[in-house]
Amino acid sequence: MRNRWNDADAAAFEGDLGLRVYSSRLLGADPALVLHGGGNTSVKSTVTDILGERVDVLHIKGSGWDLATIEARGFPAVRMDHLLRLRHLQKLSDPDMVNTQQTHMMNASSPSPSIETLLHAFLPYKFVDHTHADAVVALTDVKNGEAAVRDVYRDSMAIVPYVQPGFDLAKVCADIYEQAPHVSGLVLMKHGIFTFANTARASYDLMIERVQQAEDYLQNARAGRPIFSVRADLPKPAVDKGRLVAIVAQAIGREGGPKLVTLDDAERVMAFINSAQAPALSQVGPATPDHVIRTKALPLYWEHPDLSSEAAFRAGLEAELARYIAAYDAYFQKHAAGGDYVRLDPNPRVLLIPGLGMLTTGSGYKDGQVVADIYRHTIDVLEWASTHGDYSVLTPEQLFNMEYWELEQAKLRKGGARPALAGRVAVVTGAASGIGRACAKELVAAGAHVIGLDINPDGLNGLDADLGKAFLGVRTDISDRAAIAAALDAGARRFGRIDILVANAGRFYSNRTIAEMDAETWDGSLALNLSAHLWGLKAALPYLKANNGRADVILMGSKNVPAPGPGAAAYSCAKAALTQLGRVAALELAADGIRVNTLHPDAVFDTGVWSEQVLKERAAHYGMTVEQYKRKNLLKSEITSTDVGRLVARMCDAAFVHTTGAQVPVDGGNDRVI
């Protein structure tokens, strides 16, 4: 466990709150301590109110903030006098606790204080740190957990039995501390660890020291022996893993809306999934109760998957899911009896499939990655815990109470509008520049995730920087069928599905009259502007068909289809054939719920084809200024790549759900077309 404190760095942070920010970021920088918003920290200080009076407050981590990146504004200030008076109450419900904390903040626009605000307030130290350190959690996640904690810490830490976070836990922790005021921290069984001191550095140093003690204890208990042993009967995939992941996404998307699924088949993860211990260990429960909200109580572990064909995998998966959902329904019915609960989606959040990997699900890639990170650390805890005892967690009733926690249920009831394309994944060819780049951006803005294909890696890297984890760029020559198949497989491994294909890539070959035509121009245009899109569509069809009757194909045609010009035979004929391909595809694919529509843009000048010099030359040819030339359509409007991208995104949402086989101009009105 690395101590990251640096006096020079700390000196750049001023005052109590500044040091609180600094040491909190140090804790958040280590995923073995906290993950994705986990843990919380606080400092007791004073502020000046609107009357100019000094007020004692607790600065506590606010809801929605991550310790790794937290700022001063992420610590709402709550009046200490009010918090301390709450200690004398006998009962306080979670909603009432949240309300009274919010109504006693110094700034009404601050984020909601942590659910563990009272616990921090009741401990009589200036700085309080709380993490869910893997090693400490592992110590507590065995049948003789309290004995293990005592072996490690003797009387330097007090032990707190499991109590669900909230008012009751705060009172229990305060009572236990007051009975042992010499301790430097608390170990909460099945939960985590608190350290406290009157300086930021002392509290942080204690956290690192105490976690290191737990790690040393577990390392000694392990004594170098392997914990996970590889099974002898492991299956081997006979089909692309991306296709298997897409089958999972289709199966779990039937309830609760479309979901993204991500595959992790890294060596560390596979060592656990493929082990003889995994079938039993994986079904005990989560490392800490907090995780159940993200991962559910149990993953689906498929002990003997058939990976020999898509059909065999699909049939086996359906049976495994049916068993998992039936067990979840029984769990819900048993523990929800008599309560006002909204049943959650019963599908697993984590699927562990020997020979394939760990699949995690979420409404978006980020959600799925949170689940993946949590389960990767769960594997660490399982290994740690197995070094010194039988892994043991909370009862099903306790896990249910956490999964269906009143505060979490309230969030569900409030709901909120989802973006139009949430949960959908698009493939955009020619994504690195021009119209393709605009399509990728507009699709992401509408809630979709995008797999961008292009031969230009620099342009894809730029989109990666702009769009983040919602975008996956894959360098691909779309005229290479094997490269297209590999790109789609990479996309499916990352996102689990493909719902939209935007066939945009293309090139305007140099003007050639029929008399001047050469084979390179003609064949090149047909290969890139027509044939590549045919083979790309064919390769994407298995994914598009696996979307429960909702997928879109958008072909990028051209104004040259209805209104060709002299010297553009190679380009115009390829685009006309592409348009005809779209019409045939609309007829053939309608039964699968796949809509196929074609856009015909014209005079989109903010693309690489139109340099400033070319624009000047074309404008002069027509006796116009450049600005006049850009608007030489009936509506006198300038068409941009963003205009085309926005229409592409809109044609993939519910507004066009009943439209297929359409050809839509994006040209401002062309008298030759009309």
CATH number for region 425-604+643-666 = 3.40.50.720
Residue 275 pairs in a beta bridge with 230
Per-residue pLDDT reduced to its tens digit, 28-69: 999 999 988 889 999 999 999 999 999 999 999 998 899 999
Per-residue pLDDT reduced to its tens digit, 192-208: 999 999 999 999 999 99
Residue 391 pairs in a beta bridge with 142
Q: What does the pLDDT read at residue 610?
A: 79
Question: How far is Cα 674 from Cα 669, in angstroms, rounded to an integer?
Answer: 7
Mean pLDDT (whole number) for 210-220? 94
Residue type, 175: D
Q: What does the pLDDT read at residue 412?
A: 53
User: How much of the chain, in percent, has pLDDT values that exceed 70?
Assistant: 99
Put the strands of the sheet holding 500-503 in their side by side order: 471-475, 449-454, 425-429, 500-503, 551-556, 594-601, 663-666
Backbone angles phi, psi at 667, to 5 degrees: -140, 5
Q: Which among 329, 323, 373, 333 has a CA at the least distance from the CA of 350?
A: 373
**Residue that is written with structure tokens 């990028």 in the block:** 556
Q: What does the pLDDT read at residue 256?
A: 77
Question: How far is Cα 31 from Cα 375, in angstroms, rounded to an integer?
Answer: 12
- pTM comes to 0.90
SS3 at position 505: coil
Q: What does the pLDDT read at residue 387?
A: 84
37: its two tokens: 């918003």
Residue 368 pairs in a beta bridge with none
Contacts 24+ apart (CB under 8 A), 463-466: 463/431, 463/432, 463/437, 466/441
What average pLDDT does the structure give for the chain? 94
Per-residue pLDDT reduced to its tens digit, 391-412: 999 999 999 999 998 887 665 5
- Kindly tell me the burial class for residue 490, based on how many C-beta atoms sit within 10 Å of its own C-beta (0-12, 13-18, 19 or more): middle
* More confident call, 138 vs 222: 138
**Residue that is written with structure tokens 């600005």 in the block:** 627
CATH, domain 7-222, list 3.40.225.10, 3.30.830.10, 3.40.50.1100, 3.40.50.300: 3.40.225.10
543: its two tokens: 């994914």
Question: How far is Cα 187 from Cα 323, in angstroms, rounded to an integer?
Answer: 37
Active-site residue flag, 571? yes
Put the strands of the sheet holding 158-160 in their side by side order: 77-79, 54-60, 40-48, 127-131, 192-197, 185-188, 158-160
C-alpha dihedral sign at 446, 477, 495, 377 = negative
Q: Which among 283, 324, 299, 288 has a CA at the least distance from the CA of 398?
A: 288
pLDDT-derived band at 282, boundaries 50, 70, 90: very high
Mean pLDDT (whole number) for 101-125? 96
179: its two tokens: 């009975």
Per-residue pLDDT reduced to its tens digit, 314-370: 999 999 999 999 999 999 999 999 888 889 999 999 999 999 999 999 989 999 999
Mean pLDDT (whole number) for 264-277? 96
C-alpha dihedral sign at 643, 654, 498, 359 = positive
Helix (H) or strand (E) holding 131: strand 127-131
Question: How far is Cα 662 from Cα 645, in angstroms, rounded to an integer?
Answer: 17
Taking phi over 0 as left and psi of -120 to 50 as alpha, with beta for the rest, 224 belongs to left
Residue 41 pairs in a beta bridge with 129
Could you say which of 301, 571, 622, 629 is catalytic? 571
Question: How far is Cα 39 from Cα 50, in angstroms, rounded to an integer?
Answer: 32
Mean pLDDT (whole number) for 550-556? 96
Q: Are strands 185-188 and 158-160 parallel, antiparallel or unpaired?
A: parallel
pLDDT-derived band at 240, boundaries 50, 70, 90: very high
Question: How far is Cα 616 from Cα 624, in angstroms, rounded to an integer?
Answer: 9
pLDDT-derived band at 243, boundaries 50, 70, 90: very high
**Residue that is written with structure tokens 């599905």 in the block:** 497
